[in-house]
Amino acid sequence: HWLGEQLSKHKLFSLLLPRSKHGLTKEFHRIKVWPGQALFQEGEAGDSCYIIASGRLRLSTEGGPTKELGPGDCVGIEQLINDDIVRSSTCTGIEMAICWYISQQALL
């Protein structure tokens, strides 16, 4: 399963036992992000992490450099482990993207 493989690649999720990873994949939900659509905004509170399955997204900061993300990349993982952290960048669709997301609540 693609999502389980992706979890193994990311430091936070890679520490889980295989059985736990399988159970965790059931807590992820699929979302589409359209070109120009903001997945989240710099400075807002966040409680979800996203793994890109297809398409491309752009991370940008006010007055700072941008970074393009694609399949297998993960964004927002900081908000899963610390709810006092606000989004440090804006994430916007470059082309239609499919992402899998999990909320902090699902991990409790």
Q: Are 55 and 98 in contact (CB under 8 A)?
A: yes
E-strand spans in the chain? 29-33, 38-40, 48-60, 66-69, 74-75, 90-103
Residue 15: is its pLDDT beyond 90? Answer: no
Taking 80 as the threshold, does the pLDDT of residue 16 lie above it?
no
Q: What is the pLDDT of residues 35-46, one digit of tens each?
A: 999 999 999 988
Q: Over 70: is that where the pLDDT of 22 sits?
A: no
